[in-house]
Every structure is written in structure tokens, then in C-alpha cells.
């Protein structure tokens, strides 16, 4: 076999990892969040990983609040070409979780934009704070695909349901009795999930990383300390990820 | 020199020129480790070489049993070295595997020490969570984890000969539902946290209320 043929047979040899076709990170539609987010994590900005690699660090594009996981058995998995030819970070619902502490407490009102595909109905926590007394969380209701918000007082957002097999775009405003949940452009009535304020973020499980694991593909998450205009981000994320 | 994992061994030989591939013809080699350091290293290289061909891509499997020595020349040597380096790159990290490890609760410390041989940073938290029990209630009789690992790490985890350490191939249990089926086969259930328990009670109460309010 000539050497050129071998290079074709083994295209990864001699290349920098992560430079394959579906991982061209610079050409993802150019979505930029509005305003000044505290944190912005998008799966298509992860570099240096191939399909099925464990994710140790998910870099923050807004500041330097990188989501991390040091424990090998708890690292989620990087999956390429999952939605609109873009990658995701896959949490296995058994032990995977990532977390980061914000530099300070996010006092209500707080706005979160979350693009995820929740792939299994259980009592699972999609995101949470990092302490039990300082949390703002999004759950799935047991055995169904209903959503629930919790900032100290778990509150069902019936009938807003997660989909399976395609990503949801959720926008959540935690603002005491004026909180709401938005599912693919449809907004709930005001609810009151409590008054707690987060000092960090956990993805894929409850705070502390040792309970409530969710089987979920995570695409993008944006956190704001304040009330953020929904329209621009929602349109940009919808276009980028092809959510309903 | 001994290596804790195959990956360590592969890193050791990566980039080195391996000239003699004739032992590929004899994969029944029994001696894996020798006493002297040099013999140990050589045998380890051979063992790695043979074992890795079992999982290598087709192009590399095509080399199995081949001997290029009758075709001398720099090009052939280059080709072979290219194969070797490509193969080692691949074998070190590919294919990714998934190990579901279930341990006896009273061996948590010892199991953590095994995990820390691979997961040096953060290995203390490998078997975190409330664990498993027959009833789904505390106390835990077992702990577990679901580990996305390299093939060599999987082999290391699987080769632990302990009665209290069991490894299951996670490929067959790629959803939470299937994972719970595996646990059911072992007469185990996840122990839910207090927080989740509260949520479940609220949901049960809400569900009952809903059922009662439905017209008959």
C-alpha cells in the first residue's frame, strides 16, 4: 500500500484532534447572546475532543466560569453531529455531572436559556445550583415529561412538557411570585418557585453531583444575573439548533 | 518496569520503532511478564501488540500474520512504522468503552483506591451518591458508577479479580431504563435522595388529587 493510501486510510494520523468535518467550530451560525451573560456554555465551542470522548471542561464563553468534572467516571460524553450537524454534551443519567461556582451570588431576578434534549422521563434534575440552600433548578416530573422549577419551593409548570428525540429551548425567569417558564416560545403563567439565589451551576444532576442524575443531551446554556430580553436569544438559539 | 494499565504501556512505547513483527504469527504466547526489566518491557510490547489487533480497525487487522521482512526497503519500513504509530494512537484511546461497576458497600474504600489508579484527580468521588439496595431504601448495600473509559482502562477495570467488584459492559445499558433493568436483574434499586423523595411524594399527591377529580 503506498504511503498516500495509508494516510487516506488513517486520516487522523498527524492531524490535530478535533478538526474533522462536523467539528468546524467557527462556522456555527454566529449566534452571540444579547446583553452581558454571567455564563455561556455551548457544546460547539468545545475543542480538542472527538466523538465519545469524556468532557472534563466545558469552557465558558462569557467569563471564565468553566464547567468542570475531575472524576473520570462522572464526566459526560462529547457527541458529534447530534443536532443541525452540531455536537452535544451527553449526560448519562447515572453518574455524569458538571459544575462551577459563580464569582458571586446571582440575586433574583435571574434568567436562564437552556437548549437540551431530555431523553428519558424520570425524576431528574436538568440544572441546579451547587448548594441546597442556594438553588435554582429545573426538574422533570417523575415518569412523565413535565417540568418543575425550584428555588426553594418546587413548583410544577404543568402542562409544559419536555420533548424526546429533539431539543427543547427553555427560557426560565426566577423572580419570586413573578417567575415563569417558557417552552419553545410558549410562556407559562406566573408561578412562585421560591426566593433562593444560586452561587453556582450544576448540569446533569442535583447540586453536589450525587443525586437526581438526568439523561440529557446538553447543547447550550446561558445564565444572566437579571431579567434579560427573550426575543433575540430565543430567535438565535432556535435558528442555530433547529428547535420548534 | 511494570505498567499499571495498558495505556501506560502504550505511552511508554509510543513513537519507538518496532522492527520485529514476526511474533504476530504466534498470538498464543503465554508468558506476559518476566522478572527482568528488559524482558518485561519486551514481553509487554508483544502482548500489547497482539492484544490490540483484536480490536484494531480493518486496515490494521489486515497486517495480522504479515511479515514485511522479505520486502526490504525504506518505504516498507516507513509504512510499517506509520502503521505502528497510527495503531498505538488508536489503541490508546479507541474504541471508547463504558464500564458499569458495582461494588459492595463495605469495600468502598478499596474500590476507590482501584479507581484512583486511573482517575488520579477526583477519583475519590467515583462511587458517590446514595448507592443501591434491594429495597431502594438506605442503608446502601452497594455503590456503582457508569464510566466512559478507554479500551485499555476498561480492561484494567475488568481484570480486577475481586468478589466485591463487578464490571458490566455498558454498551448494552445505554439508557436509564435499561440500567434500571440491569439493577433489577441483580435485585438492586437506586436509593433516591431526600430531595427527590419529596418531589415524588408531591407528585404522587398531585396525581391522586387529579385522579379523584376526574369524572367517573
Report pLDDT for B33: 38
C-alpha cell of residue B136: 431502594
User: Does the beta-carbon distance from B119 to A215 stay under 8 Å?
Assistant: no
Q: Highest mean pLDDT: which of A112-126, A205-219, B5-19?
A: A205-219
Q: What is the mean pLDDT of residues B41-64?
A: 57
- Beta bridge partner(s), residue A146: A161
Q: pLDDT at residue B74 above 70?
A: no
With bands split at pLDDT 50, 70 and 90, how would you rate the model's confidence at A22?
Answer: very low
pLDDT at A87: 96
The answer to whether residue A8 scores a pLDDT higher than 70 is no
Q: Which of B74, B170, B199, B200 to mutate to test the interface with A (most CBs of A within 10 A)?
A: B199
Mean pLDDT of B118-142: 92
pLDDT score for A84: 92
Q: What is the mean pLDDT of residues B194-199?
A: 58
Higher pLDDT, residue B29 or A66? A66
Strand A125-128 relative to strand A155-161: parallel, antiparallel, unpaired? unpaired
Rounded mean pLDDT, A125-149: 77
Least confident of A12-16, A58-62, B114-118, B145-149: A12-16
Q: In the prediction, which pLDDT does A30 show?
A: 76
How far A30 CA lies from chain B's nearest CA (Å)?
31
Give per-residue pLDDT as tens, A229-242: 999 999 999 999 99
Confidence check: pLDDT of B45 > 80: no
Say if B160 is an interface residue toward chain A (CB within 8 Å): no
Strands (E), A135-188: 137-140, 146-150, 155-161, 168-174, 180-183, 186-187
pLDDT at A5 over 80: no
Q: Which residue has the higher pLDDT, B62 or B186?
A: B186
Q: Which residues of A touch B115 (CB under 8 A)?
A: 72-73
Nearest residue to A188 (alpha-carbon basis) of A127, A223, A138, A232:
A138
Which residue carries 409548570 as its cell? A157
Per CB-CB distance under 8 Å, the chain A contacts of B146 are: 73, 92, 94-96
Looking at the predicted structure, is the pLDDT value of residue B165 above 70? yes
Provide, as residue numbers in chain B, all residues whose Cβ is less than 8 Å from the Cβ of A74.
122, 125-126, 128, 145
Q: Whole-angstrom Cα distance, residue B70 to residue B68? A: 5
Report d(CA B5, CA B152) in Å as an integer: 7
Q: Is the pLDDT of residue B42 over 80?
A: no
Residues of chain A whose beta carbon is less than 8 angstroms from a beta carbon of chain B are 1, 3, 6, 9-10, 12-13, 52-54, 69-75, 77, 92-96, 119-120, 122-123, 132, 139, 141-142, 148, 154, 156, 206, 209-213, 215
Global pTM reads 0.73
**In this predicted model, what pLDDT tens digit does every residue of A61-108 receive, in sequence order?**
999 999 999 999 999 999 999 999 999 999 998 899 999 999 899 999
For residues B5 and B70, what is the distance between their CA atoms, to the nearest angstrom? 34
The overall average pLDDT reported for chain A is 83
Q: Chain B residue with minimal CA distance to A146?
A: B203
pLDDT of B89 strictly over 70: no
Mutate to test the interface with B, among A10, A18, A73, A217 (most CBs of B within 10 A): A73
- Count of beta carbons in the 10 Å neighbourhood of residue B41: 17
What's the pLDDT band for B126 if we cut at 50, 70, 90?
Answer: very high
Chain A partners of B179 at a C-beta cutoff of 8 Å?
93-94
Flag whether pLDDT at A143 surpasses 70.
no
Per-residue pLDDT, averaged over B3-18, amounts to 52
Q: How far is B24 from chain A (nearest CA, A)?
A: 19
How many C-beta neighbours within 10 Å does residue A97 have?
29
Asked if pLDDT for residue B103 goes beyond 60, the answer is yes
Q: What is the pLDDT of residue A147?
A: 81
- A122/B125 Cβ within 8 A: no
Is pLDDT of A146 > 70?
yes
In the sheet that holds B97-104, the strands lie side by side as: B165-169, B97-104, B142-149, B132-133, B189-190
Is the per-residue pLDDT at B2 higher than 60?
A: no
* Residue B151: predicted pLDDT: 79
- B23 pLDDT band, cuts 50/70/90, is very low
Mean pLDDT calculated for residue range B126-146: 93
B121 CB neighbours in chain A (<8 A) are 70-71
Which chain A residues are within 8 Å of B195, Cβ to Cβ?
Answer: 132, 206, 211-212
What percent of chain B is modeled with pLDDT above 90?
A: 31
Average pLDDT for A152-156: 85
Q: How confident is the model at residue A144, as a pLDDT? A: 63
What is the pLDDT at residue B169?
92
Of residues A164 and A232, more confidence is placed in A232
CB A115, CB A126: distance < 8 Å: no
Distance from CA of B177 to the nearest CA of A (A): 8
A22 CB-near residues (< 8 Å, 6+ apart)? A80, A81, A85, A86, A87
Give the Cβ contact number of residue A167 at 10 Å: 28
Q: What is the mean pLDDT of residues A32-52?
A: 93
Mean of pLDDT values over B7-21:
50
Average pLDDT over residues B179-208: 71
The rounded distance, in Å, linking the Cα atoms of B188 and B38 is 47
Amino acid at each position: 500500500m503506498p504511503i498516500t493510501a495509508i494516510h487516506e486510510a488513517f486520516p487522523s494520523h498527524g492531524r490535530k484532534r478535533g478538526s474533522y468535518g462536523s467539528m468546524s467550530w467557527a462556522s456555527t451560525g454566529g449566534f452571540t447572546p444579547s446583553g452581558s451573560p454571567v455564563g455561556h456554555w455551548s457544546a460547539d465551542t468545545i475543542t480538542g475532543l472527538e466523538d465519545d470522548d469524556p468532557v472534563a471542561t466545558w469552557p465558558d464563553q462569557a467569563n471564565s466560569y468553566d464547567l468542570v468534572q475531575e472524576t473520570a467516571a462522572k464526566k459526560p460524553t462529547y457527541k458529534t453531529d447530534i443536532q443541525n450537524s452540531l455536537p452535544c454534551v451527553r449526560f448519562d443519567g447515572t453518574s455524569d455531572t458538571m459544575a462551577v461556582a459563580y464569582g458571586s451570588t446571582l440575586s433574583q431576578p435571574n434568567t436562564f436559556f437552556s437548549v437540551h434534549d431530555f431523553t428519558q422521563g424520570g425524576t431528574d434534575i436538568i440544572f441546579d445550583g451547587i448548594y441546597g440552600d442556594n438553588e435554582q433548578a429545573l426538574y422533570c416530573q417523575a415518569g412523565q415529561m413535565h417540568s418543575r422549577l425550584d428555588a426553594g419551593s418546587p413548583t410544577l409548570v404543568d402542562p409544559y412538557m419536555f420533548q424526546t428525540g429533539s431539543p427543547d429551548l427553555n427560557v426560565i425567569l426566577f423572580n419570586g411570585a413573578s417567575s415563569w417558564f417558557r417552552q419553545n416560545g410558549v410562556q407559562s403563567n406566573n408561578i412562585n418557585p421560591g426566593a433562593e439565589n444560586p452561587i453556582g451551576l450544576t448540569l446533569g444532576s442535583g447540586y453536589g453531583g450525587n443525586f437526581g442524575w438526568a439523561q440529557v443531551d446538553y447543547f447550550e446554556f446561558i445564565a444572566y444575573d437579571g431579567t434579560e430580553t427573550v426575543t433575540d436569544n430565543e430567535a438565535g438559539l432556535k435558528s442555530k439548533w433547529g428547535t420548534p | 518496569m511494570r505498567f499499571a494499565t495498558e495505556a501506560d504501556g502504550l505511552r511508554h512505547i509510543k513513537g519507538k520503532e518496532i522492527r520485529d513483527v514476526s511474533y504476530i504469527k504466534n498470538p498464543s504466547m503465554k508468558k506476559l511478564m518476566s522478572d527482568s526489566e528488559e524482558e518485561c518491557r519486551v514481553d509487554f510490547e508483544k502482548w500489547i501488540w497482539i492484544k490490540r489487533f483484536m480490536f484494531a480497525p480493518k486496515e490494521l487487522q489486515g497486517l495480522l500474520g504479515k511479515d514485511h521482512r522479505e520486502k526490504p526497503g525504506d518505504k516498507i519500513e516507513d509504512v510499517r512504522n506509520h502503521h505502528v504509530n497510527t495503531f498505538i494512537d488508536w489503541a490508546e484511546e479507541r474504541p471508547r468503552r463504558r464500564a458499569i461497576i458495582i461494588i459492595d458497600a463495605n469495600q468502598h474504600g478499596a474500590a476507590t483506591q482501584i479507581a484512583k489508579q486511573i482517575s488520579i484527580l477526583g477519583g475519590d468521588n467515583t462511587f458517590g451518591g446514595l448507592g443501591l439496595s434491594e429495597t431502594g431504601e438506605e442503608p446502601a448495600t452497594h455503590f456503582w458508577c457508569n464510566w466512559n473509559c478507554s479500551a485499555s482502562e476498561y480492561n484494567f477495570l475488568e481484570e480486577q479479580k475481586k468478589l466485591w467488584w463487578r464490571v458490566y459492559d455498558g454498551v448494552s445499558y445505554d439508557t436509564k431504563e435499561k440500567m434500571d433493568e440491569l439493577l433489577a436483574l441483580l435485585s438492586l434499586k437506586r436509593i433516591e435522595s431526600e430531595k427527590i423523595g419529596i418531589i415524588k411524594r408531591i407528585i404522587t399527591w398531585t396525581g391522586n388529587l387529579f385522579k379523584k377529580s376526574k369524572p367517573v
